[in-house]
Structure 1
Amino acid sequence: MKYANGIDYGIGDLSLDKTIVDVGSLEHIAAPDARVHSFPIFLILSKAPPSMQDRIGKVFRESLKQGTYASALPRGIYSLLRAPDMTSSDRHDPIPGIANSTRMPIYLPASQRIAASQMSAFTATLQARAGLPLSDYTRLHEFSVREYRSFWRGFLKWCTDIETSGEVEPVCVGEDIERAKFFPRLELSYADSLLGLTIAGADAPALTECHVDAPTVRLTRGELRERVASLACTLERLGLRSGDRVAMVMRNDAQAVICTLAVAALGATVASAAPEMGADALLDRFVPLAPRLLFAHTATRATDRGTPLAENIAGLASAMPSLEGIISLDDGPLPDSVTLPVHSLGALIAQSAPADFVWRRFPFNHPLFIMFSSGTTGKPKCIVHGAGGTLLEHLKEHRLHTDLRPGEKLYFQTSCAWMMWNWQLSALASGVEIVTYDGPLATVDTLWRIAADNGVNVFGTSPAYLKMCEQANLEPARQFDLSALRAMLSTGAVLFDSQYDWVREHVGALPLQSISGGTDIIGCFVLGNPNLPVYAGEAQCKSLGLDVQAWDDGRPAVGIGQLVCTNPFPSRPVGFFGDTDGTRFHASYFAANPGAWTHGDLIEFSPQGSARMHGRSDGVLNVGGVNVGPAEIYRILNDIPGIRDAMVVDRNAAGSLSRAGRDGANSTLTAGSRERGIVLLLVLQAGVELSAALLSRVRGDLVRRASPAHVPGLVLAVEALPTTHSGKPSEAAARDAINGVPARNAGALRNPECLDAIRRQAARNLEKGSLPLPGKTREQMETYLRALWERMFGFGPISSDDNFFDLGGDSLLAAEMASHIHDATGQTISLTNLMTAPTVAQIAAILEAGPASAPSSAMVLMRAGNGTPLFLAHSVTGSVMECRGLIGALRNGRPVYGLNAHGLEGEKAPQQHVIDMARDYVAQIRQLQPHGPYALAGYSFGGLIALEIAQQLHRAGERVEMLCLVDTYVSERYLPWDAWMRYEGRYVIEQWRAFRGMLSAQRTRYVSAKLAAAVDRARLRLGRTAHRLEPDAVGLPPVLLRVRQAMQVAMATYRPKRYRAGPILYVRASTRIEGRGNPLPLWQRVACRGLNVIDVAGGHSDMVYRPNADVVAAALDAALSGNRAVIES
């Protein structure tokens, strides 16, 4: 269902049997092809009167029957309790955005699907056995972690097709997560469980093998079981026994599956890798294991690159004296240097009859797989996983969380080097047919073609592939028959909000489930759920049986924290291979937070239990004492056209530059603002260059949507970013390259050659020696300024006539430049100076002439023209610099003057009262234009200044022809009484809901933060600055920070009075700032002679940027030309 803002909310699968939907300001819902729709706000409520539920449910069921949009909803029937939409940034409260914002799920499962899911069936069984009400997933999960023994016992019993022997009790020995052991008296066979014929018969499809240049091969369960049994029988005759280890270098095909299951059937342990891995990476993984046999594809293919595969296999074999033989999976020839026996897989299978093999069971914790960490920070860790824990965890994730059933088809984009290959393999135990593909991405639509051609039901991929498809303008639902596809999974990196929208729009109304866990647990901590809604950017739920929490400093966090698990779980590794005393195992997972598993990721939970991943905790960047998560930056960059991929890393002090001081001595100059150490690496789409416009967009969006601390000091365009063999980005390798040191383990990378290119690019930008001296002449000044700008912007050459703003300059870079100039010359160049003299030549002229030549007025000519001027007041930034795009979009020929705040030049103290500001601005305005009519406007806080200027001019007897407030808010305490009560009521309800969903430790920190917030609000009302910074003020230079804090005080203390000079034009964003009260009731009261309201689709920060700025400019043009054809409120 599409609306005017272009968002598809995906409510075609909505059922209201147990929920109520509150729709505020809903005009209508029409057919998808309608051109104009209103913008609704949906809120799922947990409680509502039954009669109201029935009434609204009936309307929605009729309107959304079978996912269609057949009828319009009556207007005005949804006037239930309006919920609060508070966030921390505007109330100074420490509640994370996902906990407080009014959120619309992008997908809601139908009641029929919920009722028929295996999650519902298991819950009913467990509820009956436990005698406890498990009416929703929250209660089910709480039971599964509180009574985890009962949960795992019940789940194993529920899986009636899994054959075991021995005793189920005890379920778990020990309470210590580091040492607890599950089912110590139970035995099972992993291979037999995957190939059992109870859940699906011998004729059921088991495996489809796809190739880039060969026919598709299909195997039934019976055929696969027979081949596994035959190979296992022959391997046993070759001497392979339980407890042995084998190494495998395999392509993702049927042979890989057969070999793995045959080895597992004998109780031997499998360690696998992919053919594209380099020789060093293979050696690092396999040599410590002393494997008995090596299984490998040995034939080279046209799509292979680098050293021929046969040579790598030969080198690997020669380095492992423990080897007794090599099994070739494809009969490719090996070099003559190989002296070990080489067996053909086909011949080994043919040597034995499947009936000759005796299937045996092994202890629950018997070693099954040895997985490897990425190895980018040192030698890979060899992580040993037990058969029972792996099987039980995968059964739970496949059957309950993914709702996979016998006969369904699963395809996951993976290789044998990644745990998702093992994860997909285990789906055989649920009667699922798995699809494999051993080729490259020949075209961007390769994977969609596989899914369509094979009728895949569940398709797993990565955010990188989804972004590739989006950038290629792919339309999978239109180009392919995806009628069988019912769900998508994504892992390997953070999945961004916009990617959920893309899938909804271009793939269909299906759940896109973000899953996250890792090789360490061979499973997921957070993942999907067939019974729950999907929120964009979030995993649906915590995994059953795992008490996953977000911790900060050893206790539950409010908001983002380290991902920890606090209870024992079966898929915890048995340990590290070779770590006999467990010291390395302990240091890796349990030392940081004693008594809990620490995973190394950052996570944030909503009150509903959904989770947002924020990247690796060891990737957090520290900018001036402020922690910046790379995922926050990537989320914003993902929305900028032209950027294919991005990576942000920090650099050490060795990367600093030197600059010339006034005395000629060198001092430190970093390439980043205020000695920032952040370097942003961008991979751009074909044909896109790192232009001034793109740099400006990157910096502007990061400041606007995050904070100044998120803005990188240096931006570099590179051809590729380092990735591991499992496709995950390696910030550690890029950091080493940026800092000019050798990569700690280049062999762990799929593309180590990109490091040299990154190293060279960084060196060119970071090691250019000292800046020239400013000198005394204009030519010397220009030479110095050009060099300074080239350092700051990260590209060149820059000419003397280049415009600072056209190159991508903003207030942050302006403040940085002013600091450098002051250090070098002793002179001050303010933001006001820069706006009137934005070129190198103009600034050099000011510096040559001396301080007296620099204009000191707060009023700046932003655009020349004819007629009476338009005066534009600054926002909380203190500058009208951010409104340059809006001014440029104006078509009216009048001149435009900007009013900048005192204090931007760094010498005067900023004013803290709107009335004082307006008084000074009025004096300057009347010097330029002694008498009216006056035209005034202000964006955001600037609207309050413009209003007060108009009030003072009116009292002086002057006429005001136009007053425009562009999305201007007021302190909520000045709202009319009824509006204030509604606002506070929503706020209290929302905070209570958030409080109820917290753990006791979180509540303590929450209350402490609330008290601190209350102190700050009191200080603001008394005219003092707050102790804590607003999120968007973090990282600001001192000059800009002082101005921002002064504006914050001014806004908190200004009460708008009735305005009688004329009508007010109020241009507002359709999406209100989260946590702010609706100012419309106040403006309706203030505007005694009429309030003209124009709504602009978008948010507050978008109003002065295109395309929204064009709409705002058109409204201003109409008002300035005397056209009153605007909407009366």
Structure 2
Amino acid sequence: MSLDSLKERVQADTSVLDGDDQPLFTPDPAAVAGSQLTAFIRFVERREGLVLPDQAALQRWAILDGPRFWTALLAWLAPPTSGMADPALLGDRCETARFFPDLRLNYAEALLAGDDGAEAVIARRADGEEVRLTRGELRRKVRCLASGFQTLGLAPGDAVAAVLRNDVEAVVAVLAAAACGATIATVGPEMGPDILAERLETLEPRLLIVSAEPRPQDGGAPVVDRVSELITKLPSLKAVVALDGAVIDGGALPVLRAADLAEGPEAAFDRFPFNHPLFVLFSSGTTGKAKGFVHGAGGTLLEHLKEHRLHGDLRPGERLFFQTSPAWMMWHWQLSALASGAAIVLYDGPVDAPETLWRLADETGATCFGTSPPYLGLCRSLDYRPGDHLALKALRSVLSTGSVLSPQLARWVREAVKPLPVQSISGGSDIIGCFVLGSPNLPTFAGEAQCVSLGLDVRPSGPGGEGELTCHNPFPSRPLSLLADPFGVRFHEAYFSRHVTAWSHGDWIRATPRGGVILRGRMDGVLNIRGVRVGPAEVYAVLADEPRIAQALAVEQSDETSGEARMALLVVPVAGVTVDDALRADIRRLLTRRASAVHAPAVILAVDALPTTHSGKLSEAAAADAVNGRSPHNLATLRNPESVTAIRQAMAAWTRDAGGAAGGSAEDWLGAVWRTLLGAETIGLDDNFFDLGGHSLTAARVLAEVRRRTGRRLPMATLLHAPTIRTLAAVIDAPDWSASSRIAPLRTDGTGEPLFIVHSMTGNVLQLHSLVRALDCGRPIHGVQARGIDLDEAPLADVEAMATDYVAAIRTVQPKGPYRLAGFSFGGLAAFEMARRLEAMGEPVAELILLDSKVDKRFLPAAERARLLMRRLAHHARRIRRMPLAEILVYLRDRAFALAGRRAPPAPPLHEIPPRLQAVRDGIVAATGRYRPGAYGGEVLFVRAEIPEDIPFDAASAFRAAARGGVTEMVAPGDHDGMIEPPHAATLAAMLSERLRP
């Protein structure tokens, strides 16, 4: 694909952070009626004598009466068990409750039930070798190997460590150990011996199971050497079992072949307590020593069955593929799909092309395809469209997890694969399951998970439906304990210290009115940039529409000069793309326009790869250490530790280049300042400040540095006159140069009466740079700026006072009419009042243009206020429909304060704005809230943005009521801020130029 065609794919998208209002996929009513979720709802209705019209009603009952819900679910799922299902729950505290204390089961038995001839496993390697097993074949292999393990003395409660590939042998070995009642920890062969030992030594395993034969995807030291070294670090071992033909040095320990052990009779399936420890899973370990989560057999089985059958509608005869490895909890999640009667599809090999996994799904007839946003992003960036090349006839759903799935990627799946539900699921190794998932009965919306897990009281911690993900009731897949934490101190600190009665998961989420969940990313990855919290997911959501970027990672980096935190963005470009200053400027403009100025990174570094853990997750902690010059806590947790060195070197080079020529001429030190603030490696003397991504906040920092070095206080408008290093240096070197702080000449070409454009909420006219540059009206153009922007003046907080001040200022440029006035946003209110003052003075106003200007909604005409009230009520009703009662009360309280003209709590200041500019902005906000347009005899041109705000209203109605000369309306493309920015600024400029030409 050419770069030009790539650029054509970059489009504005107002929903990048909060998803869509229209569903991507709506299930057929017949499919809903026939889903397993609907069957379970009917079962509960009959069993409990309830009326449950939909999933939401089932969820409300499940939370109100948890023990009866879990008992009913167990009865409906009917896994092989013995003992009593009553009581279902001991205790009601999430931290300490225990499920089904008198029930017994065997995890392996539950997974292996079913017809002997039914398909169970399809396993493929990178070289194309494939193994298929039926349930009968798999059951016999598991029982025979379990018998062999028992001959080695493996007993219930013994610990087993396993270094495994993603193949049939791994499935057989894990289920055989589970059949014996062992507690199993699985890790991947890509890990080094030190990190393996760190994870496994506290487990004190009796048996080590390994797959160590070389594979094409292996890197670093041979796996057999790593395993041999690992053996020396685990003194608790009694034996080693090799699943393949690798020659392993076991030292004094016996090394046995699994094939030899499996030659004996088949073992019986003994049943163990519901809370018998089954799996030990580990956290990534990038921020400290990896935590080991001990998970019970019953909780794991019950939760996975619920997720697969009710949320995924997985049935006998279907095939589930997930892109995973034994080092990640999704491997165990996929393994449990056997208990639903489905077959699992395994792949052991590299993903060396975008079609690799899609082709596997097509050739194996996978019905459910599980992957991650990075893989989907890879396919999208390389313009690989699976639906154009493969039939994918059996495929009915796509699951995504591991990181936040952007709305753009969700829409891409629908367009490039086929119309089907794209379900974003999220949980963790700590719960060996999911807190948010999909549903066969609900529509899917881009950018959000469909629902929370059934029976789990999951909600955001903060008011208004946003905050940390918390769970307020017991759930069966909560870990039994942590390894090496006998009194539960570390467990409590990690999950119950922030909210004592609720599990605190560390994910930042927002609940949607329709019951879905928008995932913002990890709380520990949130950046604090100049006092503003920035979620990296917000950055990634915007960058998903930049096709030249394959991957990106945003981390916080300390500016040694100012001591402030700034954002560093690590970028992996797509093949054939160079991360040059033009692309850096495009990235900053995109983030500034679609998110905010504070989302624009100060540093953009091109790298070949991002730090990735062995479970396939990007490591923000390792990247942050690298850009800040710190030694990462544990390089062994990464599958590509060399990426950290590369990032450190790139950061050092950027610092060296940006800081060069810090002294010398004004051009020299200005170049260093611009490179630092704009994050560009090279900036030419004639490169335009605004084309490089500069904006009003950056301009304020540039001029502050000019004042620090020279003692001169230049007006904010200086950069409009001198937008290059060469011209700004000339201004600095000319001591007699000055520019009016109130009236800023923006265009000096043209003839006739000038056009005066009034500032927006920022108080200055830098925001209007793109629009002004695109105007071709044949007239001079002057910007009107707020009092207090440059000089030590008290800002005004009243539109009438501003209009008086501004009229006096423009008359120093044009003493007599006719006047031509325009204003963007707030500027339109000031321009309207200026026109009224000029009219009262007997001065003609030839043109009055209001660009998407809005009065306070209290001052709309009565009919429009009534219509807006109805829209608001409908909007709030949709939001609170599925909120828990406690959140509804907080939400209604906040709305009541808003109606009273107050905030609770007060809105925080925008810390990224310097105090002087913040004071100006505060005055403008106050002025907006008090201004009611008075009568005006002239005509008004009102230009509104094509894309309205969340609750739209007719902003022009206030001016139609006031302007006796009438209001002409036009529509400009884009939203409120986007209409004056590229690419829409050119369209708006053409509309205005036609009207303004002499």
Per-residue displacement from partner, 1:608-635 (whole Å, max 9, x unpaired)? 3211122112223334544332223332
Shift of 1:928: 4.3
2:488 equivalent in structure 1: 582
> What is the CA–CA distance in structure 2 between the aligned matches of 1:561 and 1:861, rounded to whole Å?
44
1:967 equivalent in structure 2: 852
Given the two structures, how large is their TM-score scaled by the length of structure 2?
0.93
1:510 equivalent in structure 2: 420
1:638 equivalent in structure 2: 544
Q: Give yes or no for contact 1:679–1:716 (8 Å, CA) kept in 2.
A: yes
2:518 equivalent in structure 1: 612
What amino acid sits opposite 1:751 in the alignment?
A: N
Shift of 1:115: 0.8
Q: Give yes or no for contact 1:274–1:416 (8 Å, CA) kept in 2.
A: yes
1:681 equivalent in structure 2: 570
> What is the CA–CA distance in structure 2 between the aligned matches of 1:431 and 1:613, rounded to whole Å?
31
2:314 equivalent in structure 1: 404
> Equivalent of 1:872, from 757, 774, 777?
757
Alignment of 1:501-900 (within 5 A): 501-552=411-462, 557-651=463-557, 655-657=559-561, 669-670=562-563, 675-766=564-655, 780-850=665-735, 853-862=738-747, 864-865=749-750, 869-900=754-785
> What is the CA–CA distance in structure 1 between the aligned matches of 2:127 and 2:761, rounded to whole Å?
61
> What is the CA–CA distance in structure 2 between the aligned matches of 1:174 and 1:920, rounded to whole Å?
70
State the secondary structure of the residue aligned to 1:531: coil
Shift of 1:771: 8.7
1:182 equivalent in structure 2: 99
Shift of 1:134: 1.9
1:55 equivalent in structure 2: none
Do structure 1's residue 156 and structure 2's residue 74 form an aligned pair? yes
> Equivalent of 2:921, from 1041, 1044, 1064?
1044
What amino acid sits opposite 1:255 in the alignment?
A: E
State the secondary structure of the residue aligned to 2:977: helix
Shift of 1:944: 2.8
> What is the CA–CA distance in structure 2 between the aligned matches of 1:862 and 1:1121, rounded to whole Å?
14
State the secondary structure of the residue aligned to 1:175: coil
Do structure 1's residue 166 and structure 2's residue 83 form an aligned pair? yes
> What is the CA–CA distance in structure 1 between the aligned matches of 2:310 and 2:431, rounded to whole Å?
18
What amino acid sits opposite 1:417 in the alignment?
A: A
1:343 equivalent in structure 2: 256
What amino acid sits opposite 1:258 in the alignment?
A: V
2:976 equivalent in structure 1: 1100
What amino acid sits opposite 2:259 in the alignment?
A: G
> What is the CA–CA distance in structure 1 between the aligned matches of 2:414 and 2:983, rounded to whole Å?
24
> What is the CA–CA distance in structure 2 between the aligned matches of 1:361 and 1:148, rounded to whole Å?
25
Closer/same/farther in 2, CA of residues 332 and 633 from structure 1, 3 Å limit: same
State the secondary structure of the residue aligned to 2:477: coil
> What is the CA–CA distance in structure 1 between the aligned matches of 2:927 and 2:624, rounded to whole Å?
43
Do structure 1's residue 225 and structure 2's residue 139 form an aligned pair? yes
> Equivalent of 1:375, from 280, 285, 292?
285
Shift of 1:496: 1.4
Closer/same/farther in 2, CA of residues 625 and 581 from structure 1, 3 Å limit: same
What amino acid sits opposite 1:1040 in the alignment?
A: L
2:3 equivalent in structure 1: none
Do structure 1's residue 433 and structure 2's residue 351 form an aligned pair? no
> What is the CA–CA distance in structure 2 between the aligned matches of 1:893 and 1:680, rounded to whole Å?
42
> What is the CA–CA distance in structure 2 between the aligned matches of 1:720 and 1:470, rounded to whole Å?
18
State the secondary structure of the residue aligned to 2:470: strand
1:913 equivalent in structure 2: 798
> Equivalent of 1:1072, from 935, 938, 948?
948
Alignment of 1:1048-1063 (within 5 A): 1048-1057=925-934, 1059-1062=936-939
Shift of 1:391: 0.4
> Equivalent of 2:30, from 103, 107, 112?
112
> What is the CA–CA distance in structure 2 between the aligned matches of 1:845 and 1:182, rounded to whole Å?
76
> What is the CA–CA distance in structure 2 between the aligned matches of 1:927 and 1:588, rounded to whole Å?
66
> What is the CA–CA distance in structure 1 between the aligned matches of 2:152 and 2:880, rounded to whole Å?
63
> What is the CA–CA distance in structure 2 between the aligned matches of 1:187 and 1:170, rounded to whole Å?
13
Q: Give yes or no for contact 1:649–1:735 (8 Å, CA) kept in 2.
A: yes
Closer/same/farther in 2, CA of residues 465 and 1059 from structure 1, 3 Å limit: farther
State the secondary structure of the residue aligned to 2:953: coil
Shift of 1:345: 3.2
Shift of 1:814: 0.9
1:276 equivalent in structure 2: 190
Shift of 1:1088: 4.5
> What is the CA–CA distance in structure 1 between the aligned matches of 2:250 and 2:267, rounded to whole Å?
34
Shift of 1:719: 2.6
Q: Give yes or no for contact 1:859–1:924 (8 Å, CA) kept in 2.
A: no
Shift of 1:782: 2.9
What amino acid sits opposite 1:413 in the alignment?
A: Q
Shift of 1:414: 0.6
Shift of 1:224: 1.4
What amino acid sits opposite 2:832 in the alignment?
A: L
State the secondary structure of the residue aligned to 2:757: strand
Q: Which moved more, 1:372-381 or 1:904-913?
A: 904-913
Alignment of 1:324-473 (within 5 A): 324-334=238-248, 340-349=253-262, 351-353=263-265, 356-473=266-383
Closer/same/farther in 2, CA of residues 173 and 1086 from structure 1, 3 Å limit: same
State the secondary structure of the residue aligned to 1:636: helix
> What is the CA–CA distance in structure 2 between the aligned matches of 1:1093 and 1:945, rounded to whole Å?
19
> What is the CA–CA distance in structure 1 between the aligned matches of 2:933 and 2:901, rounded to whole Å?
22
State the secondary structure of the residue aligned to 1:388: helix
> What is the CA–CA distance in structure 1 between the aligned matches of 2:848 and 2:739, rounded to whole Å?
31
> What is the CA–CA distance in structure 2 between the aligned matches of 1:773 and 1:214, rounded to whole Å?
59
> What is the CA–CA distance in structure 2 between the aligned matches of 1:826 and 1:495, rounded to whole Å?
49
Given the two structures, how large is their TM-score scaled by the length of structure 1?
0.82
Q: Which moved more, 1:105-114 or 1:340-349?
A: 340-349
Closer/same/farther in 2, CA of residues 1113 and 677 from structure 1, 3 Å limit: closer
What amino acid sits opposite 1:810 in the alignment?
A: H
State the secondary structure of the residue aligned to 2:376: helix
Closer/same/farther in 2, CA of residues 963 and 450 from structure 1, 3 Å limit: farther
State the secondary structure of the residue aligned to 2:867: helix
State the secondary structure of the residue aligned to 1:145: helix
Do structure 1's residue 147 and structure 2's residue 65 form an aligned pair? yes
Which ranges of structure 2 fall in alignment gaps of 5 or more residues? 1-11
Closer/same/farther in 2, CA of residues 1046 and 704 from structure 1, 3 Å limit: farther
Shift of 1:648: 2.4
Per-residue displacement from partner, 1:427-460 (whole Å, max 9, x unpaired)? 0011101111111112112111112222211111
Closer/same/farther in 2, CA of residues 732 and 102 from structure 1, 3 Å limit: closer
What amino acid sits opposite 2:135 in the alignment?
A: R
Shift of 1:413: 0.8
Q: Give yes or no for contact 1:833–1:855 (8 Å, CA) kept in 2.
A: no
Closer/same/farther in 2, CA of residues 940 and 1011 from structure 1, 3 Å limit: same
Q: Which moved more, 1:760-769 or 1:894-903?
A: 760-769
Closer/same/farther in 2, CA of residues 1004 and 624 from structure 1, 3 Å limit: farther
What amino acid sits opposite 2:414 in the alignment?
A: R
> Equivalent of 2:990, from 1114, 1119, 1125?
1114
> What is the CA–CA distance in structure 1 between the aligned matches of 2:112 and 2:905, rounded to whole Å?
64
> Equivalent of 2:119, from 175, 181, 205?
205
State the secondary structure of the residue aligned to 1:178: coil
Shift of 1:907: 2.4
> What is the CA–CA distance in structure 1 between the aligned matches of 2:981 and 2:550, rounded to whole Å?
23
Per-residue displacement from partner, 1:834-885 (whole Å, max 9, x unpaired)? 2112233333333334376344452322463456544333221222322222
Q: Which moved more, 1:230-239 or 1:708-717?
A: 708-717
Q: Give yes or no for contact 2:715–2:740 (8 Å, CA) kept in 1.
A: no
Q: Give yes or no for contact 2:741–2:789 (8 Å, CA) kept in 1.
A: no
Alignment of 1:979-1018 (within 5 A): 979-991=864-876, 994=879, 997-1003=882-888, 1005-1006=890-891, 1009-1010=894-895, 1012-1013=897-898, 1016=901
